[in-house]
Structure 1
Amino acid sequence: MRINSTTPSQYVDITTPRESTLSTSTNTNITNNTISSSNGPELNAYNDYTSDLTIARKEIRNEYYAQAVALDKKFGDPAQHIEDKYKNENSKYFRSDLSENDRYNAYRNEMAYLKTGDANVSSYDPFVYDVIGTFSFTDEKALNLEFNREQINEQFAQLLEKNNITIPADTKLSFTVDPYSSKVTVIGTDDTKLINSIEAVMDEKNGSELFAHIKQTKWETNSQYTKEKINKYNAFTSIKEDTGYKLNELEIVDGKFVTEDGTDIITLFAEGIYARTDIYENKEPVIIEGMSRRLSDLIEADFDTVPDLVLTIDFENGSFHDVGQSKGFGTGETGWIFNKAESLQRDKISKQITEMIKQENIPASKDTKLTLTINSDTNKVDVSGGGEKLNSLLETLLNAENAKELFIYILLEQWDEDTPMTYDLLEDLLKNSFELMNGESISLKYEDGTLLELPENIPKIDWFNRLSLLSDKQSIDIYV
């Protein structure tokens, strides 16, 4: 048996993050070398995240749009036909069955495939997003953010190492980033030499990336964010992106932000908006009017007194840790992602069983109570409690590909969170699931349209150990 000591990049660890390479030495060691990050490691808030699920979705997306574009090409103007489907309400081909957001995403992907042969422009696609079942228990966004936190931790470690900076173990620092200048302020220690050295390597580029990462990893409610802070920040970034000007550097004259030559910034903003090619369904006037109102509100509220979106993140023992939210992505804080996976998978199975009953017109009442028993002696799922016809039909359906879903739920419920779970490892477990049960049976309850949690009296199986023993017999390679 081969057990890899590190998680291959193409596999996603859904339990614990990789260890940071940052030293946690108790000695502060800062040399007189010139501190610089311009020619060395830098922070990057947006790192390429790839999982088996991501790859599969991309493949399915391209397969779908290859067929769609083949049909589009039967029309004299394929591009116009795509416009008609997703933008022209008067066309008989208009997809009124889709929401405006779904039409927007489908339009982008279909047009992209027509032009480039690759439909992977918008990931949230109505024809693809919920196609894949096996791994949909995971929260892709949470896994993506956890991965990016790991990357930021490693990049920061390299930045410190390059500049001969060592942060003592158990030293808790706070990094605060100004949203406009990207200036980073560090507090948390009386060692001014250490503080100055860290702030020096956290230049404007790295400060900007750290700010983007903090904003990116906001999860649910975060006390650092308020509506007025967000509105001010969004106005600032939009104006800067489309005009090149910074709101905080402009004068306010007669209730308007103006440039040094007296030009109303909205005039320049409008020019920038009309010059863009990514505005959907001629929304330019709406965007310009909305920005005009937003700037007027900021001036009326006294722009300089409106709080800025200054963001803070903590750092300790090789990892950044989120501030102001209950769920974090720092080292040792991501167990909630795994726990959420159990709930997502249970909800998914509940809906699948309910849908099976509905689609097959199986006689069942709202209070139908079923027992689903995974029987490793017979290598199948036995169903009881719903009557002969209902039990028989569900057994047929559950013993197809859907049996995997039950195993995934049980694995998630019983998995040791200290052992990293990868997609490849999960596949090995699923392929050998009945054999790993060693003749045991596990029963699940379905009541009132919901799969119930595993009873506490069910013996907990050490799935990883059993797979390891099995792999010794069958020469299975396990990737951990």
Structure 2
Amino acid sequence: MVTVNNSDYYNNIPAGRDLNNLPNTSSADTTVGYQYDGLTEEDRFVQKVLQEHYDKVYKENLSHSDPMAYIESKYCDVTSPNFCSYMTEDQRSIAYRNEKRMLQTGGKYSAGFARYDYALRNYKDVYTGGSRSVGYVRNTDREKQYARSVVNQQISNLLSKNGISISKQADLVFSIDPYTYQLTVSGNADRDTLSQIETLLNEGDNAKNIWTHAWICMHDADNEIVNSQANMTKTNQYSLWHEVYETTGYDARNATYKNGTFIAEDGTDLLALFKEKSKNGAGYELYSKRWLQYAKNGWKKENDLVLKIGFDSSGLYDIGQERGYGATQNMWMKGISQSIFEASV
């Protein structure tokens, strides 16, 4: 066990973190994963205020003949009488993204923790001012880096326990299916080593937890995707599949479109079943409309949110983004550098 001496790094990590605390949903035999912070009462309050605000604004935007043009006039066109000059640039930016995203998703609001949002200005206990540099965000860069060091050490421990050593020349890639969370390993190690690593990382929910960690690290402080592997089309397809599967127990990819609905291989009308079992009407409306789009275009494999993350002797490293959290990628975080051996687990 190695003691970390980077006090500046650890002084900025949320207190009370249990380094052995796996995600709450992890199954038995899981040894790899990181439980990000749960919601505090303040988080829930902020989320509630912003949810109510953007729900109201969404309806207002829809009242205009061209909602997107109206949104752009508020936040992008300085010559427009609608321009929100009283907001800071950061506040206009996040409002624009949130309102645009809601328009694209039929009213679904998915952000909700930026405490510099102008909508929070009257709540002095949580409002941090108009700059994103001081606005509270969840899953901060420092926590992502901390999570990376924990996951690295967990993988290192797992491999070491099973007699697997990673050479300095090794360069592997973990590819994880977004539906089954099955992980495959490729790279310059011998076939037996690749197979052993693959078997170990597919135990329990190890692969799912690595996928989740990689996914979180692909977003910036405003929850925007910053990795070339992902986009909103892939994200929507991923969320649709899981929503349908968790609601009905059926794999949407195997359904056949017929007479305005989707028929499972056993003859079940999945759209009817989805409506019957959906927890709320709004969710059904959003996902059923999205699902029906596939009746025209089909389920495109190239839009599956398969995530790839690299792995070498220093641990995991990100693929497809400018700012990564790997040991040799994180110098942008002002000297915070954590190798695979620098976190005690």
Q: TM-score range by the shorter chain?
A: 0.5 to 0.7
Match of 2:274 in 1: 269
Q: Which of 321, 339, 343 does residue 325 from structure 1 map onto? A: 321
**2:247 alignment partner AA:** D
Counterpart in the other structure of 1:246: 251
Q: Which has the larger radius of gyration?
A: 1
1:42 matched to 2:47? The reply is no
| Matches of 2:276 and 2:286, distance apart in 1 | 15
Q: Deviations over 1:131-166 (max 9, x none)?
A: 599x94897621221122112111111221222211
Once the two structures are superposed, what CA deviation does each residue of 1:309-339 show, in whole Å capped at 9, x if it has no partner? Answer: 111000112321111111101113223233x
1:130 aligns with 2:120: no
Paired position in structure 2 for 1:171: 170
* Correspondences of 1:34-433 after superposition (within 5 Å): 42-48=31-37, 61=42, 99-100=53-54, 126=120, 127=123, 128-131=125-128, 136=134, 141-203=140-202, 205-219=205-219, 220-274=225-279, 284-305=280-301, 307-338=303-334, 417=335
What is the alpha-carbon distance in structure 1 between the residues aligned to residue 28 and residue 163 of structure 2? Answer: 15
Matches within 5 A, 1:439-478: none
Write out per-residue CA displacement over residues 298-317 of structure 1, whole angstroms, 9 at most, x where no aligned residue.
12112255531111000112
Over 3 Å counting, the alpha-carbon distance change for 1:6 and 1:334 in structure 2 is closer
TM-score (norm 1): 0.45
Question: 1-side partners of 2:237 and 2:261: how far apart?
Answer: 15
Aligned-pair identity (%): 25
Check whether the contact 1:184–1:207 (CA below 8 A) recurs between aligned residues. yes
- Aligned-partner SS, 1:211: helix
Whole-Å separation in 2 of the counterparts to 1:186 and 1:43: 16
Q: Distance in 2 between matches of 1:184 and 1:304?
A: 20
Question: Does the 8 Å contact 1:313/1:323 carry over to 2?
Answer: yes
Is the 1:235–1:294 Cα contact (8 Å) retained in structure 2? yes
Q: Distance in 1 between matches of 2:292 and 2:13?
A: 47
Letter in 1 for 2:304: D
* 2: CA distance, partners of 1:271 / 1:163: 47
Q: Where do 5+ consecutive residues of structure 1 fail to align? A: 15-36, 66-85, 87-94, 104-121, 275-283, 339-416, 421-480
Q: Distance in 2 between matches of 1:306 and 1:190?
A: 27
Could you list the per-position Cα deviations for residues 413-441 of structure 1 after superposition, in whole angstroms to 9, with x for gaps in the alignment?
Answer: xxxx3799xxxxxxxxxxxxxxxxxxxxx
Provide the secondary structure at the position in 2 that maps to 1:185: strand
What's the CA shift for 1:293?
A: 1.6
CA displacement, residues 194-225 of structure 1 (integer Å, 9 cap, x when unaligned)? 11101111216222111111111103432112
TM normalised by structure 2 equals: 0.61
Structure 2 unaligned blocks of 5 or more = 15-25, 58-111, 220-224, 339-345
Q: In structure 1, give the amino acid aligned to 2:33.
A: N
Following the alignment from structure 2 to structure 1, what is the Cα–Cα distance between the partners of residues 293 and 336?
Answer: 51
Letter in 2 for 1:209: N
DSSP 3-state at the match of 2:11: coil
CA distance in 2 between partners of 1:130 and 1:337 (Å): 25
Q: What is the CA-CA distance between 1:182 and the residue it aligns to?
A: 1.5
Q: Contact 1:224–1:324 (CA<8 Å) still a contact in 2?
A: yes
User: 1:207 and 1:249, CA in 2 relative to 1: closer, same or farther beyond 3 A?
Assistant: farther
Q: CA deviation digits over 1:15-74, x for unaligned, max 9?
A: xxxxxxxxxxxxxxxxxxxxxx9875622143449xxxx9xxx58x49x98xxxxxxxxx
Give the alignment's Cα RMSD to 1 decimal.
4.0
For 2:217, the aligned partner's letter is: T
Aligned length in residues: 252
